[in-house]
Amino acid sequence: MPVHGSGTARRLRLLAVATLFAAFSQLCTLPATADAADVPARGSARMGMGVIAHDGRGGLPAPALAAQTEGVDVSGHQGNVAWSTLWSSGVRWAYTKASEGTYYTNPSFAQQYNGSYNVGMIRGAYHFATPDTTTGAAQADYFVDHGGGWSRDGKTLPGTLDIEWNPYGAACYGKTASAMVGWIGSFLTRYKARTGRDAVIYTATSWWSQCTGNYGGFAAANPLWIARYDTAPGTLPAGWGYYTMWQYTSSGPTVGDHDRFNGALDRVTALANG
């Protein structure tokens, strides 16, 4: 009996090892995890990329008021844009992604930035921030040097800092709230030194609360462009009593991202003129 028992035990051990080996082999042939597969290529980030994933999508926005002016924002994701179609639909201002980090410039920038201007729109440029790659000052310089400057021609809006969820990793780019505030401050200070203008800040309230500790110190100088795909902009980040622009959808006509300026066209012109 002891010999029988020993043989049975050996067979059971061998069977268990074979089962584990088969399971391991199958595991090794599985595709990469969804998280890894979903990380986009560097440079492909654009305004509002993380809003749906992190902030949700609500109902349709309220009808535009007479004192609001329709706008769009575009990036390399859209390629060549039909600006005459957008103009005919009532769009009067536009922002184009110029740069990201210190490693990417939009290959469609000229068609988008100049095309919007040529149909009569007031236009500006934005920079997608990556605070984990280089300093705020370095990214402000890169932005200004690659299309993010400003001129007092009545048709050029101040540059925008797009600061939101990190599409390539940790939401707050591995920074504490105080370090994030310092990085943003570095960018804004350098941008103003280079252009004479205070940059617009584009963000979402939930990201701002999570990653800056809901810091309110930039509100006095920097206009707010709030991102929220819902019936209204909702609660604003600390310090700002009103928004200047609202990105209200990523599924608008002609191009995806549509926005409303919180004022009539003469106020858009006033912001362009400083």
What does R_g of the chain's alpha carbons equal in angstroms?
A: 24
Active-site residue, 73 included? yes
Cβ neighbours of residue 78 closer than 8 Å, sequence gap 6 or more: 108, 112, 255, 256
Give 194's Cβ-side CA count (13 Å radius).
23
Active-site residue, 162 included? yes
Q: Do strands 93-100 and 122-128 pair parallel, antiparallel, or not at all (unpaired)? A: parallel
Query: In whole angstroms, what is the distance from residue 252 CA to residue 21 CA?
Result: 52
Cβ neighbours of residue 144 closer than 8 Å, sequence gap 6 or more: 159, 191, 194, 195
Residues paired with 127 in a beta bridge: 99, 161
Task: Count CB neighbours of 111 within 10 A.
Answer: 18
Cβ neighbours of residue 221 closer than 8 Å, sequence gap 6 or more: 188, 198
Query: In whole angstroms, what is the distance from residue 98 CA to residue 160 CA?
Result: 10
Catalytic residue among 55, 73, 100, 198: 73
Catalytic residue among 162, 198, 257, 259: 162
Catalytic residue among 55, 164, 257, 259: 164
Catalytic positions, please?
73, 162, 164
